[in-house]
Amino acid sequence: MDIPTGWEIVDGARLRRVFRFPDFAGALAFVVEVGKMADEVGHHPDVALGWGRATIEWSTHDAGSKVTDKDFDAATRTNEIHSKIK
């Protein structure tokens, strides 16, 4: 599967992307929406939130902390959320 736009594979174990926003509220709103999606699909990212940015990392821990199709799908969904929020 192709790496979704803007994402990178880090240490062969996770997908990471840093998303930029004009302020903290935008970044927070994005993280909340990603959290809702994660609950819906039962797959949860590691999140780092700061002023104007949110870093999202996807990895499948029950597959030995590897990047799987679940992560690629979640990253694509995350990009879709970003396109609606930014």
Nearest 5 degrees, angle CA 53-CA 57-CA 61?
155
List per-block mean pLDDT (blocks of 10 residues) for the chain, which spans 86 residues: 91 94 96 98 96 96 81 96 88
Which CATH superfamily, name and number, covers 8-85? Transcriptional coactivator/pterin dehydratase (3.30.1360.20)
What pLDDT sits at residue 42?
Answer: 94
Pairing label, strands 53-58, 8-10: unpaired
**Quick one: DSSP state of residue 66?**
B
Q: The dihedral of CA 31, 46, 16, 60: what is its sign?
A: negative
What pLDDT sits at residue 76?
Answer: 96
What pLDDT sits at residue 61?
Answer: 76
What pLDDT sits at residue 32?
Answer: 98
